[in-house]
């Protein structure tokens, strides 16, 4: 891609408008898509180029009071590898796609079942029986075509996790159940990437960030029976845990240290109480 040429088309397609940083050129999604197609680039590349040159993609304007220009560029250029596209992972894809995280690599070998409908954002009557990976790709495309989501319908072992985490900036543990979590945490540690993890049972849950080599929930929780088998997974807890995880993913992609590194935020929606515990 010739960035100079792309920038010229961006400038001519932008209109002056209000932004969190005052009056500035603003560009709409149709212009972004057209330029991406013409220059055979991904939408996120065009959006990052625009922002780096003071042109604001309209779709992110309402986030950008809280996320600065250079931070949004960091997210657009960021790469996330995510395991799980169920409760936590489905909403994660939605949130990251809306927020403009450029590249997401996800994996989940399941198909949607009726018992997923109570909480899983990507599930619906129209996708029952279909792979979660397929639904994720479609959903992401319909929300934000600038985001490149590759989703594989597979269950991975430790070697598979290592491959999935190659060349990523953040790993996301959105698994259901405890069995595979330690292997994912080890793989993230070996790859030297931060792992954002979370889980829940009933009205309680936790979110943690594990830096390479650090102790994490994967070392503590074991791999056997866990409390969700008797307490269930209601949608409010799933969505809260997923949202807090997404915020930490975004924070790490913008180059900031996570306050949850080496800690766990323990959530009890009955209280409600939030408590941070150091591990």
Partner 1 sequence: MKRLDIGEDEVHLIFVNSARAGLDTELKDGDRLGLFPAVGGG
Write out the residues near partner 1 by the rule CB under 8 A: 84, 86-89, 174-178, 181, 198-201, 204-206, 220-222, 224-228, 231-233, 238, 264, 266, 275-279
Q: How far is CA 274 from CA 95, 119, 144, 205, 235, in A?
A: 22, 22, 32, 10, 18
**Which residue, 189 or 239, is less far from partner 1 as judged by CB?**
239
Q: In which region does residue 232 sit, left (phi positive, over 0), alpha (psi from -120 to 50) or beta (all else)? A: left
CB of 168 to partner 1, least distance (A): 19
**Which residue, 142 or 278, is less far from partner 1 as judged by CB?**
278
The strands making up 15-19's β-sheet, listed across from edge to edge, are 15-19, 22-27, 56-57
**Which residue, 161 or 206, is less far from partner 1 as judged by CB?**
206
CB of 233 to partner 1, least distance (A): 5
Q: What is the pairing mode between strands 15-19 and 22-27? A: antiparallel
- Nearest to residue 177, comparing CAs of 219, 226, 222? 226
**Which residue, 95 or 144, is less far from partner 1 as judged by CB?**
95
How many Cβ atoms are within 10 Å of 21's Cβ, its own excluded? Answer: 12
**Which residue, 57 or 87, is less far from partner 1 as judged by CB?**
87
CB of 102 to partner 1, least distance (A): 24
Strand locations in the chain (E): 15-19, 22-27, 56-57, 79-83, 103-107, 148-152, 170-173, 195-201, 204-210, 263-268, 273-278
CA distance 16 to 118: 44
Structure tokens at 126: 């129209």
CB of 228 to partner 1, least distance (A): 3
CB of 227 to partner 1, least distance (A): 5
**Which residue, 100 or 131, is less far from partner 1 as judged by CB?**
131
CB of 191 to partner 1, least distance (A): 21
CB of 267 to partner 1, least distance (A): 10
Structure tokens at 220: 């503590």
Cis, peptide link before residue 148, omega less than 30° from 0: no
**Which residue, 112 or 206, is less far from partner 1 as judged by CB?**
206
């Amino acid at each position: 891609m010739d960035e100079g040429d792309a920038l010229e088309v961006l400038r001519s397609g932008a209109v002056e408008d209000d932004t969190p940083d005052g009056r500035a050129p603003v560009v709409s999604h149709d212009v972004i898509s057209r330029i991406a197609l013409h220059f055979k680039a991904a939408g996120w590349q065009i959006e990052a180029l625009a922002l780096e040159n003071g042109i604001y993609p309209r779709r992110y304007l309402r986030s950008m009071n809280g996320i600065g220009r250079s931070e949004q560029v960091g997210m657009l250029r960021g790469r996330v590898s995510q395991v799980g596209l169920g409760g936590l992972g489905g909403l994660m894809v939605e949130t990251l796609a809306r927020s403009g995280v450029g590249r997401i690599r996800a994996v989940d070998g399941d198909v949607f079942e009726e018992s997923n409908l109570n909480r899983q954002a990507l599930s619906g009557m129209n996708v029952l029986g279909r792979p979660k990976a397929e639904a994720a790709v479609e959903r992401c495309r319909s929300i934000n075509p600038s985001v490149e989501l590759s989703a594989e319908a597979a269950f991975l072992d430790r070697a598979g996790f290592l491959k999935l985490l190659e060349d990523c900036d953040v790993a996301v543990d959105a698994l259901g159940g405890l069995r595979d979590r330690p292997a994912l945490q080890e793989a993230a540690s070996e790859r030297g990437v931060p792992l954002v993890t979370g889980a829940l049972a009933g009205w309680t849950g936790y979110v943690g960030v594990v830096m390479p080599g650090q102790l994490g929930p994967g070392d503590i929780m074991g791999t056997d029976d866990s409390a969700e088998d008797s307490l269930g997974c209601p949608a409010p807890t799933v969505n809260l845990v997923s949202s807090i995880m997404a915020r930490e993913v975004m924070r790490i992609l913008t180059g900031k240290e996570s306050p949850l590194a080496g800690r766990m935020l323990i959530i009890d929606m009955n209280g409600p109480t939030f408590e941070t515990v150091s591990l």
